[in-house]
Chain A
């Protein structure tokens, strides 16, 4: 049975995530309003790239914030890329804003400066080998706390990490053809048992 993945679709590059997840045979739901969460039973959640200020604001105003936070805290597997990483960070450097704040780490917005600082590279991701990484006005992880496993570093920056059900990358796996990160995320989703339809 296909895994049902909710993709937060209020702003940013959500269509790109959906494209990758479909390649990996997932069923995707665009999350724009609270009823999208009650109408479907999600096996996982993606918080895409975009502008974290926009998403943080819209999450609250569209009444998605509390139900999503509850799902994440209840252990729903979640992948946060770029702005999604900022949404999950327990603290944002030089900023008092906290969004979900469920992950024990300090993130820094625009860690590489403006668009001229955007770049592409390749680096090791966990035990999965070298993968391409695209950084667009990217954040990084300044430091991690207890129970957070560092999955990738580029130079001295931490650019991917995991804590229990939460995986974050400061780069954009949805912008390359490499499926490693999404596959890693889907592996956190428990296998559904096949329901028999006679």
Chain B
């Protein structure tokens, strides 16, 4: 099991500096791969559409996921509802490369997350602060992403979550060892993980940015704030020219410090997704599963 957990963390390391794109069809998956996505997230409806459709949102049809697995050679991820371990078992059975236990879908359990240590396939989970991140890691997540606010095209929450996680890490790094026990108590996380953060000054797994990233500049902002890669959901296939925007975001993640190149990449991308800002939405997905 430990060995498997290491291998699963290792796969996330290979994704670093890359862009993981939401796709709903095999054709979109091919466009994403062609544009330079390092992995795709297969789902029936992108977050913006989940938001406007309302109702209960569930794991995607395995047949649709398999068609995407057949269409591309890069890793394929898919989402399950928070706490829905049976959906996770199904995705493991079709050999998914990564499961996203995601607040974008309707939660199946309002208390318990999935015990991810019982699975061989890796899990990525969302977090809006360090406590959430370390709780998910103690449950077996081998990769973390900010929650952001999916399907909005508004980056403000992803920024807030990334800044907060990194601030909390820096604080722990500068905390006296005999005070770490209290930190663990306050954050409601295992002491061993707090100790690890204190020693290393980072999360013990890879941390991506997600939720509301719509432009190359958004991607560069998140990378400069310390993200190790980005998820782009609705931002690509809800925009005017998906292929071009996807390529631009991929290059922006690689060269996030090169403002001159970012300027070129930001030119003439067509219409960005319209977006809604956080004051205008009724449902804050980031509040799900803490």
Contacts and interface: CB of A to CB of B under 8 A. Distances in A.
Co-assembled chains A and B: yes
B142 to A, nearest CB: 10
B97 A33 contact: no
B73 A110 contact: yes
B38 A16 contact: no
Interface string A87-126: 0000000000000000000000110011110111000000
Contact of B122 (A9, A50, A51, A115): A115
Given A11-B254, A115-B121, A137-B75, A51 B7 contact: no
A62 to B, nearest CB: 7
Contacts of B271: none
A58 B3 CA distance: 32
A49 interface: yes
Interface size class of B (residues with CB under 8 A): 35 or more
Interface stretch (B13-21, B146-154, B165-173, B210-218): B13-21
Contacts of B18: 11-12, 50-51, 54
Contacts of A32: 254-255, 258
B38 A116 contact: no
A197 to B, nearest CB: 31
B8 interface: yes
Interface string B1-35: 00100111011011111100000000000000100
A82 B74 CA distance: 13
A16 B13 contact: yes
Contacts of B74: 51, 53-54
A61 B36 CA distance: 11
Interface of B: 3, 6-8, 10-11, 13-18, 33, 36-39, 69, 73-75, 92, 95-98, 120-122, 247, 250-251, 254-255, 258, 261
Interface of A: 9-16, 32-33, 49-51, 53-54, 57-58, 61-62, 82-83, 109-110, 113-116, 118-120, 134, 136-137, 172, 175
Give 5 closest A-B pairs by Cβ, nearest first.
A115-B97, A11-B17, A51-B38, A118-B7, A114-B95
